A and B are shown apart, each in its own frame.
Chain A
């Protein structure tokens, strides 16, 4: 026989031996497969998650962050416009491949119909008809226009009617034919650009010009030719570049960031302006990439290390079982090479056999958790990386296995023929190699923890710290096992407790149990740590979602008069338990204002303890008693007025009321004549109780039109208002002029017969001060209380504070309380009562968002009633939905992989238990049987079969349960909670008992099943 055939001949022998121990071989194979799986899963997971995270980041970004808008001023006054020129300039300067492009142009103005007017810009936009639900036709001719359903209602026009568009930049009104009525399919879609085209979109404060009529500012769309034909001198041309997952993804993010910077410079040089929030999105994409590219391979590496350890333990256990065979072979003088190949093959073959199933399992796990890798290039990269990782995992596994075998092969025959290893001689202990490893690991863990506290996130050992602490703690705890068990055994024997004596002896003396203990302890620490990290992350996501959404569910509804919103919500939910009306300013004005129906705040809002306040108290502060409203119930409203003097021009008087449905009712009188007269209007909706609520009066220079500013009459006016349909007006304290600091209102005096009103002489007006003829009823506390989050100074509320509620005239406020955080507003903003705000604000039509907040468990009928009351739901958001959005971020993906790793680690530990138990079953069964023959009761024998595994795994699990929180406390949150560095609320505690219990529960079930199985198999073998 030649040498090679000699060693070849060992293969069938080894295979035979493996077949004889089929179950053990299978467990060894499983361990090897799990190690390979962890290694293979990582690259697939990272690359798949990279793709899906970027796509997720892009698709969930607010429209503003997906837009790169290049724009320039545009004049079409001469009837021509170099649109193509502009377009190619922009295309040349700004290269964003894969971005959608929408070109548009807008001109500010007012559109007027028979029933009213609206501050709608005139706009041309590519493919607008594809983005809307259309009634009628798409504009084709130059005078065709699309008007939104809402605007059409305000203007009182339908398809085929004509509207007039007036703009300061044009002398004569433009007459347009309404070719169709539109409703945007998705007003929040980035197609609509950064705002200004739709009423529901948020709009920067700067464009909410004070002198523009307020109304529903949905744009009026015309064709490009129509826009050209409008000859507007003052328009704006813009190309919106919309980030899509195809354009902005894991691979392109960095390039796109640079392209935007470069493009901005070039465009500026060419006279264009670039507006974008895209860098924030790019940052988030890059942060997510970094998080998983660091976190996942580390997690996988940690798991592979753990797997090698499990493999080492398993092979050691197997080799121990084969010691006697090897000893006999040695006794027979078999050459060492052949012994090596026989022993080596027995562990190498299962490790190699685990490769293929491991690769498959790893790939499938990554696919299940993160999806597939779509990009072919990335897929090739993933395959290459996975192949490398698998090779490393398997080679490491083989090395671990051979190291384990080496101890057996090199041991002397006498030692090999023993079952229980020689005990170290007392007094002659020296530090062994295994102890050196433990100590080195402990030192490394300490260094990592030190770094966590000195360097912070993302550096060096920090990300490794939790794993290092888990390993070091597990190994050190395992060192305690033999001495503690020996003590228990001695005490048991002394006390006559056989179970304790036998179990203690077993745990103290059976070789390899310390390693098994460490394996289980490390696995349960990893599981506990991963669960705690996940728990904190989930709590943070929920907490953030609660803060940002405000209530369990919040409906954003199409803009509607505040009074109407309030009454609709109150009627839909008379109980006050489920629904609350809220209105939020949609401008960047400071402070941001959220007005809520505060009587329902406590019942409806979702509140978290991090806010530093309780909703009941805030509601009380926001809603102090107020002077009663003045109801007016009459069809024909009769006004009794004495005019003493009139200024030049005609003067009209308007009673401003809120109708029963919350709509504003204007009752106009005039022109007024000198002397005492009764004036009357017909046809108000105030006839049926509860009638209308009187809000005030306005003296105007022309008949008041809804949606149009009230122009004040000429100075020199002097009159006394006596009564309105029976309601007396004499109480001076109930009346006030407008509170807007930039306007000067009438002077009010008491008069026994009524309210004496004079308009100051003309010379008291200076530029920049608006005359105002309004006299408003005091039916809300003034100044109105607000609850402020943030600093007074930052909110501009030092001194005599006033706030522009809903981008309206400023209203004096009193800061009733300062709190750290408010729902939806975060750390800066003001909360006010919606009802009072509505009574104080004379024109509530500024850009804002009307909402209905719904508490958890709101019956569907409430929502149905809201819809039936005419509230059109634009957006429907829930806390759960918002929280789920954050679950798609990089840190959460990394945590998910960490959880997978924890589960695999626990399975590995369980496999270790099963394997060690299988290997030692014969000798243990023999021992227990022998003891049975010496009178050990059957029950005690069976119990000690279970006891050993129960105590071993129980103590190890307990160690894990104790170490995991400590690990978490000393290493802190290694991964960021959010990819955008959100810090409005303090992070949730590092330790949540719930998550830990779940993890421990799962570990106990899995490991307990393994231990129970091991105990059962042994107990079965012990003779009855």
Chain B
């Protein structure tokens, strides 16, 4: 059971003012946190910081109390990241994208194979396993990225706008799968601008202009968050 805590985070990109200002949030295992806000509010930035891809200017991002050093550290702490825009390698097929990630994170080749097929199947992509990424529709690509995120079976799962291109049925399926993950004890964060999706979550953090506002919290959220 892993808890990810963002405490007083101020972060941004090299050029310009910080995108996030003094954001604090606690991601509990077994729960799903929705990060909402208008486009450009800093949702992706927050998830990147949680994934160890962005260095805080102030504040910390800690996993089980240890501040994240970088992405490799986050990977070691089993923080799984499904980036916005999928982060799939175009040169690989759907199955290979999942398999490579699994092997990179230490799975044995046979396990990786089995887990991959299983994950793709869960997302209804059994027929697309051997298609190149560019031969998949946008929604299929998004589901492939989700399959990869689920297959990795992390302790923390960061999903950035993974339902934007899905039809209603598939969107619901993906949201259900995230909840299943939470039920497994994973701390799940889902960035979305879909209020319906947000409503189904255990908590919701609303971002406006880089400032966070907890719309709905877990009963035991830290004070001031």
Contacts and interface: CB of A to CB of B under 8 A. Distances in A.
Nearest to A418: B134
Interface in B76-131: 81, 83, 87-92, 96, 99-101, 103-105, 108-109, 112-113
Contacts of B112: 496
A493 B109 contact: yes
Contact of B104 (A418, A420, A923, A931): A931
B171 interface: no
B75 interface: yes
Contact of A496 (B75, B109, B152): B109
A493 B96 contact: yes
B5 to A, nearest CB: 21
Contacts of B152: 934-935
Nearest to A494: B109
Contacts of A963: none
A936 B71 contact: no
Contacts of A423: 132
A429 B72 CA distance: 44
A764 B133 CA distance: 115
B177 interface: no
A495 B113 CA distance: 11
Task: Pick from B51, B99, B100, B134 the residue with the most CB of A within 10 Å.
Answer: B100
Contacts of B132: 420, 423, 509
A930 B88 contact: yes
Interface in A484-499: 493-496, 498
Contact of A934 (B70, B90, B108, B148): B148
Contacts of A930: 83, 87-89
Contact of B101 (A505, A928, A935): A935
A510 interface: yes
A934 B101 contact: yes
B99 A933 contact: no
A420 B148 CA distance: 21
A933 B90 contact: no
Contacts of B71: 932-933, 1023
A22 interface: no
B166 interface: no
7 contacts: A419-B134, A420-B91, A493-B100, A923-B90, A930-B88, A934-B104, A935-B75
Contacts of B148: 934
Interface of A: 418-420, 422-423, 493-496, 498, 501-502, 505-506, 509-510, 923, 927-928, 930-938, 940, 1023-1024
A937 B105 CA distance: 9
Nearest to A495: B109
Contacts of B90: 419-420, 923, 927
Contact of B89 (A422, A931, A1023): A931
A420 B134 contact: yes
Given A931-B101, A933-B53, A1024 B134 contact: no
Contacts of B51: 933
B109 to A, nearest CB: 4
A485 to B, nearest CB: 12
B70 A1024 contact: yes
Nearest to A419: B90
A928 B104 CA distance: 12
Given A420-B132, A933-B83, A937-B72, A510 B100 contact: no
B213 to A, nearest CB: 28
A424 to B, nearest CB: 12
B73 to A, nearest CB: 11
A677 B154 CA distance: 131
Contact of A505 (B75, B96, B135): B96
Contacts of B109: 493-496
A454 B99 CA distance: 57
A938 to B, nearest CB: 7
A932 B53 CA distance: 11
Given A933-B81, A935-B104, A493 B99 contact: yes
A419 B134 CA distance: 7
Interface size class of B (residues with CB under 8 A): 20 to 34
Contacts of B135: 422
Given A933-B87, A934-B87, A934-B148, A502 B108 contact: no
A938 B109 CA distance: 20
A933 B132 CA distance: 20
B94 to A, nearest CB: 13
Contacts of B104: 498, 931, 934-937, 940
Given A420-B134, A506-B91, 5 more contacts: A494-B109, A501-B103, A505-B91, A935-B101, A940-B104
Contacts of B53: 933
Contacts of A419: 90-91, 134
Nearest to B112: A496
B18 to A, nearest CB: 20
Task: Pick from A509, A923, A936, A1023 the residue with the most CB of B within 10 Å.
Answer: A936
Given A420-B134, A498-B100, A505 B92 contact: yes
Interface in B133-160: 133-135, 148, 152
B72 A931 contact: no
A938 B69 CA distance: 14
Given A934-B148, A935-B75, A1024-B70, A498 B88 contact: no
Question: 10 shortest A-B CB distances, which residue pairs?
Answer: A496-B109, A934-B101, A927-B89, A935-B105, A930-B87, A935-B75, A936-B104, A935-B104, A419-B90, A418-B134
B75 to A, nearest CB: 4
Task: Pick from A418, A494, A496, A501 the residue with the most CB of B within 10 Å.
Answer: A496
A937 B103 CA distance: 11
A1023 to B, nearest CB: 8
Contacts of A923: 90
A295 to B, nearest CB: 45
B134 A934 contact: no
Nearest to B92: A505
Contacts of A501: 96, 100, 103
A505 B88 CA distance: 14
Task: Pick from B89, B91, B109 the residue with the most CB of A within 10 Å.
Answer: B89
Nearest to B134: A418
A494 B109 CA distance: 6
Nearest to A931: B89
A493 B116 CA distance: 12
A1023 B89 CA distance: 15
Contacts of B83: 930, 933
Contacts of A493: 96, 99-100, 103, 109
Contacts of A510: 91
Contacts of B108: 496
A496 B81 CA distance: 22
A607 to B, nearest CB: 61
A493 B75 CA distance: 21
Interface string B32-50: 0000000000000000000
Nearest to A506: B91
Contacts of A509: 91, 132
A936 B81 CA distance: 13
Nearest to B95: A493
Nearest to A940: B104
Contacts of B89: 927-928, 930-931
A931 B100 contact: yes
A498 B97 CA distance: 12
A934 to B, nearest CB: 4
A927 B86 CA distance: 11
A694 to B, nearest CB: 97
A506 B71 CA distance: 25
A928 B70 CA distance: 17
A419 B141 CA distance: 15
A936 B87 contact: no
A197 B83 CA distance: 99
B87 A938 contact: no
Nearest to B81: A933
Task: Pick from B81, B92, B108 the residue with the most CB of A within 10 Å.
Answer: B92
Contacts of A502: 100
Contacts of A506: 91
